Amino acid sequence: MRLKDRVALVTGAASGIGLESARALAREGASVIAVDLDVAGGEAAAAALRDEGSEAHFVRADVSSAADCEAMVAAAEERFGALHVLFNNAGISHADDADAIDTDEAVWDLTMNVNLKGVFLGCKYGIPALRRAGGGSIINTASFVAVLGAATPQLAYTASKGGVLALSRELAVIHAREGIRVNALCPGPLRTELLMKYLDTEEKRQRRLVHVPMGRFGEAAEIANAVVYLASEESSFVTGSTFLVDGGITAAYVTPEAS
């Protein structure tokens, strides 16, 4: 097991990438703190991990709240004695997120508070815990749109994920000599509820797939495999990376000069 005796905290663990990653980390031996606002979903996720023989505990937290982020990290140390892996994954994509003209300020603020401030707060309270554990891995969910921009206007989401990418790079440099690695995980278009609620017809889905060289949507479980790699010692020389798991979409559209 690649993560035996490791403790991993996963935000947004009730569904999608977070749920699949919690499962994958647990399969590799990690004790998991499953964090979400969705109490029923988060409790169910943690219970399912325990039923499979893993150590897991649910914590309700709003990642845009400093007090909640401090409490979720404290829960990891109190419950399991340490924190080694921090997966700042929780995020939203608002239905009314559009361009600069049509996006309401409240939508912008909410998106930034969850997607970017939530990652900042996770790191703010998580990094001291990783130091106490002697080092570890931070994985922050960004997106391929942080590299490309989105074809369909979603300005707040894209800007928030660009912020996650920049934040991750800087923290990687700051903490590299402390044995703390920080990487930005950038998924491509996935068959998750978050995306499929927008691509709600076959025509819309096919229009998106035209741009994906592999010709299909990714699965949350495939992103979870990347999370396990970035969490484990197999990626011991990987930090500050824009870790793309995107079916080739950025390779098709980013020129060498732009990258």
Cβ neighbours for 165, distance < 8 A, ≥ 6 positions apart: 142, 146, 147, 184, 186, 242
Going by C-alpha positions, the residue among 222, 230, 210 that lies closest to residue 246 is: 222
123 token code pair: 């790191």
What does 157-171 look like in DSSP terms, one character per residue?
Answer: HHHHHHHHHHHHHHH
Give the closest residue to 162 by CA, choosing from 145, 174, 150: 145
Counting every residue, how long is the chain? 259
- Residue 125 catalytic? no
Q: Please tell me which residue in 125, 157, 229, 253 is annotated as part of the active site.
A: 157
Q: What are the residue numbers of the active site? A: 157
